[in-house]
Amino acid sequence: MPTVVYTDGSCLGNPGPGGWAWAVSGGPYASGAEPHTTNQRMEVTAVLQALQSIAGPLEVVSDSAYVVSCFEQRWWIGWQRRGWRNSAGKPVANRDLWESLIALALDPARQVSFRKVKGHSGEPMNEFVDQLATQAAAAQQGVTGGQG
Report, as residue numbers or ranges, the catalytic residues: 8-9, 43, 63, 120, 130
Instruction: Enumerate the H helices of the chain as residue ranges.
Output: 39-53, 65-72, 75-81, 95-105, 124-139
**Cα 144 versus chain centre, distance:** 16
User: Could you give the 3-state DSSP secondary structure of residue 110?
Assistant: coil
Alpha carbon distance 85, 129 (integer Å)? 31
